[in-house]
């Protein structure tokens, strides 16, 4: 049973969206 | 053979015949990406979520995004009219969608939406319930189980207080709401199987 979330590329979208927050966070 | 991805998150469920399966999959990915990003933004606003390890944040989001979207878009399922409105704004009848091969999953989605809508949750209750769904400590692959459990417990406590406050005479309302979580898990599994079948096809 492979991982459907990986099939969807979900992890990539999630990681990018999470990192977007770090970039916007004030120093 | 025509490929049909009759998902409410798909802008173009009925694809052009000249498109390759890869192009169809990429179009689908572009359709649901904004919704996934919104789930991530929602997660960031859950107090304590950003304090979890990045890997645990990703694990929770990967496992729970479908369930969050199901709760969020339950209102797209019109039980009375037996229709589903896709994010494109197009409304499809249950019969038409069944014809696209969405039978069993769609019936269970309708059933869930009906039960959830019958609880008549306020926006605040729905938001907190969604946070509880997302921060589920029993997802596989969690590294720091204690942190996730503590966060989920605190969210459940706040949800219980909120639900009790809005309907003090109905003690079963909170229990009924929590019982939607296993229903969501079942739907998530069914949805995963559906996705896998498309990939295999």
> What pLDDT was estimated at residue B36?
94
Q: What are phi and psi of B37, to 5 degrees?
A: -60, -40
Among residues B181, B108, B107, which one has the least CA distance to residue B138? B181
Q: Do A18 and B33 touch (CB under 8 A)?
A: no
> What pLDDT was estimated at residue B25?
81
- What distance in Å separates the CA atoms of residue B55 and residue B142, rounded to the nearest whole number? 8
- What distance in Å separates the CA atoms of residue B105 and residue B193, rounded to the nearest whole number? 10
A24 pLDDT above the threshold of 90: no
> What pLDDT was estimated at residue B4?
74
Q: Which residue of B has its CA nearest to A19?
A: B54
Q: Do B36 and A4 touch (CB under 8 A)?
A: no
Q: Do B44 and A5 touch (CB under 8 A)?
A: no
**10-residue block means of pLDDT along chain B (201 residues)?**
78 80 84 94 97 96 95 92 92 89 86 94 96 96 97 97 89 93 95 76 53
Q: Nearest C-alpha of chain A: how many angstroms from B59?
A: 9
Query: B13 vs A27, which has greater pLDDT?
Result: B13
What are B's interface residues with A at a Cβ cutoff of 8 A? 29, 32-33, 36-37, 40-41, 44, 50, 54, 57-58, 61-63, 65, 191-192, 195-196, 199
Q: Nearest C-alpha of chain B: how many angstroms from A27?
A: 16
- In the structure encoding, which two tokens stand for residue B77, read together? 């399922």
Q: Do B62 and A21 touch (CB under 8 A)?
A: no
Q: Do B62 and A11 touch (CB under 8 A)?
A: yes
Residues from chain A contacting residue B192 (CB–CB below 8 Å): 4
pLDDT confidence of A1, banded at 50, 70, 90?
very low
Q: Do B36 and A10 touch (CB under 8 A)?
A: yes
Among residues B177, B172, B173, B91, which one has the least CA distance to residue B129? B177
- What distance in Å separates the CA atoms of residue B196 and residue B190, rounded to the nearest whole number? 10
Question: What separation in angstroms does the CA of B107 have from each of B10, B84, B111, B153, B182?
Answer: 18, 11, 6, 32, 16
HSE, CB side, 13 Å, CA atoms: give it for residue B34. 8
Among residues B21, B16, B57, which one has the least CA distance to residue B143? B57
Count of residues in chain A: 27
């Amino acid at each position: 049973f492979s991982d459907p979330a990986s099939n969807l590329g979900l992890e990539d979208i999630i990681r990018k969206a999470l990192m977007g927050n770090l970039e916007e966070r004030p120093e | 053979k025509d490929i049909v991805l009759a998902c409410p998150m798909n802008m173009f469920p009925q694809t052009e015949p000249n498109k390759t399966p890869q192009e169809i999959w990429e179009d689908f990915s572009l359709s649901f990406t904004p919704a996934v990003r919104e789930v991530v933004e929602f997660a960031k606003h859950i107090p304590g979520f950003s304090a979890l390890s990045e890997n645990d944040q990703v694990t929770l989001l990967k496992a729970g995004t479908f369930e969050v979207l199901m709760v969020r878009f339950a209102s797209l399922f019109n039980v009375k009219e037996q229709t589903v409105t896709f994010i494109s704004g197009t409304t499809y009848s249950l019969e038409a969608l069944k014809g696209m091969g969405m039978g069993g999953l769609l019936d269970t989605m309708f059933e869930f939406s009906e039960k959830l809508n019958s609880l008549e949750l306020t926006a605040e209750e729905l938001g907190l319930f969604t946070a509880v769904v997302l921060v589920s400590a029993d997802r596989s692959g969690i590294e720091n189980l204690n942190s996730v459990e503590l966060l989920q417990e605190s969210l459940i406590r706040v949800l219980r207080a909120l639900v009790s406050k809005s309907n003090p005479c109905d003690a079963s309302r909170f229990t009924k709401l929590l019982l939607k979580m296993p229903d969501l898990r079942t739907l998530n599994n069914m949805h995963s199987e559906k996705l896998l079948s498309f990939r295999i096809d």
